[in-house]
Amino acid sequence: MSPARTALIFGVSGQDGAYLARLLLDKGYAVHGASRDAELSGFANLAALGIREKVVVHSAMPTDFRSIFQVVQRVTPDEIYNLSGQSSVGLSFAQPAATLESIVIGTLNILEVIRTLDRPIRFYNAGSGECFGNTDGVAADEHTAFRPRSPYAVAKAAATWQVANYREAYGLHACSGILFNHESPLRPERFVTRKIVAAAARIAEGGPVSNVVPPYMKTDKITIAAVNGYAVAGGLERSLACDIRIASENAQFGCFEIRRGLPNPPDPLIRLIGFGPALHMLLSGDLFDAEEALRFGLVTKVVPPPELMSTVEALAQRIAEHPIHVLKATKKAAFTGRDLATAQSEAYARALSAPLRDSDTSREGVTAFAERRRANYG
């Protein structure tokens, strides 16, 4: 007996797409999924749920109208679910055009294909709670106005209104779901909630709160954090592990572990911004904007979002112009000396820098200064 209904999922390889595929299979659907390149995609999430062989996959790109038209015509679905598109808020600031295209044009193409084929296809589009922006602590619902604050949120808001327009103008059976944070074992641990859950599991097993080894503990390279959007919990930890932090005006910082009843290692934050501000962040679980972070000393500079990466890259370039062995020695002296008593720290720094003061590098630097020219360190 043939399945009662057929579903086509765009974005089937992601967390949501995989779980949706399993749900629909359990309900007796014939499930098809679309991916940019079905032959090369691993579909690891489908495999993890044990349904890889039960989902028929097709190659299609939502931004390519022709490929969408062909796959919909071939599958003849009763229902289409759009879970595709660039999904990173942070990346959307670096790639705004690509983000808008993947979400807005992708959604538009699917809607146009449904309208053109004139079939009774039901369409679901995945929206985002990011569309609401900052609600000043007030819970959002279906009647809350959109105030998107990132290219990703702008794109999701536009797609939501596209769906509403096609429903009202052309009578399509189309709707959008506004999705907030939702996690699962299929979500990579780089996401905040997964980091909190993983930390809780490690604590329960008697292990450390974090399995993240700060870069300064394992490398002598200089690291710079470009902070755009939310840096909370694990995101904050990673920024603290960098040598320098530069934020966009959209950045927000917070220690959310306290909200989940989890302890947070206080030492890195206290060492960086001082006891009072650190304790405020650790105990309150509040969000702090970029200007507050600058005042605390959590970041050293705040710039408009479009200028963030160029600012960071320019700083990295300036740092890279200095002698590499002097950079390494300076970083090592700073981090090692930080953990010693004052007298020990000064002695350590002198011992580390002594060989460098009588080197070709130092002589070139002094000579260049005297001759009022740029040093050439080779």
User: DSSP letter string over 150-186?
Assistant: SHHHHHHHHHHHHHHHHHHHH--EEEEEEE-----TT
Q: Report d(CA 245, CA 48) in Å as an integer.
A: 37
Closest to 262 (Cα-Cα) out of 353, 212, 316, 195: 195
* Tens digit of each residue's pLDDT (9 = 90 or more) over 2-26: 558 999 999 998 899 999 999 999 9
Q: Is the pLDDT of residue 295 over 60?
A: yes
Q: Which of the two residues, 351 and 180, has the higher pLDDT score?
A: 180
Least confident of 17-26, 158-167, 322-331: 322-331
For 223-247, how does the pLDDT look when each residue is reduced to its tens digit (9 = 90+)? 999 999 888 877 888 888 899 999 9
State the average pLDDT over residues 168-197. Answer: 82
pLDDT at 114 over 60: yes
CATH 3.90.226.10 fits 192-311, yes or no: yes
Residue % of the chain over a pLDDT of 70? 80
- Give bridge partners of residue 244 from the DSSP assignment: 224
pLDDT in tens, 258-273: 776 666 666 778 878 8
Asked whether the CA dihedral 156, 162, 167, 173 is positive or negative, the reply is negative
Residue 332, Ramachandran bin (φ over 0: left; ψ between -120 and 50: alpha; else beta): alpha
Strand partners, 6: 30
Beta bridge partners of 127: 178
Confidence of residue 195 (pLDDT cuts 50, 70, 90): low
293 Cβ contact partners less than 8 Å away, ≥ 6 residues apart = 247, 251, 253, 299, 302
**Beta strands at 252-254 and 288-289: parallel, antiparallel or unpaired:** antiparallel
Tokens found for residue 262: 């989890």
Amino acid letter, residue 241: A
Q: Which helix (H) or strand (E) holds 80?
A: strand 79-82
Greatest extent of the chain over all pairs of C-alpha atoms, in Å = 89
pLDDT band at 337 (very low <50, low <70, confident <90, very high): low
Amino acid identity of 333? A
pLDDT band with cut points at 50, 70 and 90 for residue 193:
low
Angstrom distance (rounded) from CA 112 to CA 326: 60
pTM of the entire predicted model: 0.58
C-alpha dist (Å) from residue 299 to 153, 225, 251, 281, 332 = 25, 9, 10, 14, 21
Confidence of residue 216 (pLDDT cuts 50, 70, 90): very low
**Could you give phi then psi for residue 307, rounded to 5 degrees?**
-95, 0
Run of H or E residues at 357: helix 342-357
Which residue has 């405020």 as its token pair? 280
Class of domain 6-179: alpha beta
Domain chopping of the chain, boundaries: 6-179, 192-311, 324-370
Residues 229, 254: contact at Cβ < 8 Å? no
